[in-house]
Amino acid sequence: MTDTAQHPDIRPGDRAPDFTMKASRGRTVSSAELKGAPYLLYFYPKADTPGCTTQACGIQEALPALKSLDLTVIGVSPDGVPAIDKFADKFGLEFPLASDPEHALADQYGVWVEKSMYGKTYFGMERSSFLVGADGLIKQVWRKVKPAEHAAAVEAAAKAL
């Protein structure tokens, strides 16, 4: 398992790490394709779990407003493509859900972290989001996101870009 201590915290003003990942519905998402446009990367622990569903459905509801602000949204989890496809289909999620099973991008963003549940420690995805401006710089960081409040916070920040 990866030790996240070697990865610096990503902060507003930092350059967003480059990526290319497989995504839901046969898509591929990459930072190169998004060059010159703002986007949101939101990292979530596991497809089709209560908190992740609340968060994804909130983003889906806000998608028309986010698209009107020219914001692309990409959800990122350690799930494989079949699991994210099933999740996207089940809830009608139109935005891409990217698969990061080796947590390569999560490591770069410092969101593959040690967690604890029922006295056991393990590594997993921290629910965090990063708003990237058209200039490729991080504009806003949300750590330990509250799923029900996430979409409204993203929309407010995107309006300020």
103 DSSP 8-state letter: -
**Using CA atoms, how far apart are residues 133 and 130, in angstroms rounded to an integer?**
10
For the annotated catalytic residues, the residue numbers are 52
Taking CB atoms within 8 Å and a gap of at least 24, the contacts of 143-149 are: 145/42, 145/55, 147/51, 147/52, 147/54, 147/55, 147/58, 148/54, 148/55, 148/58
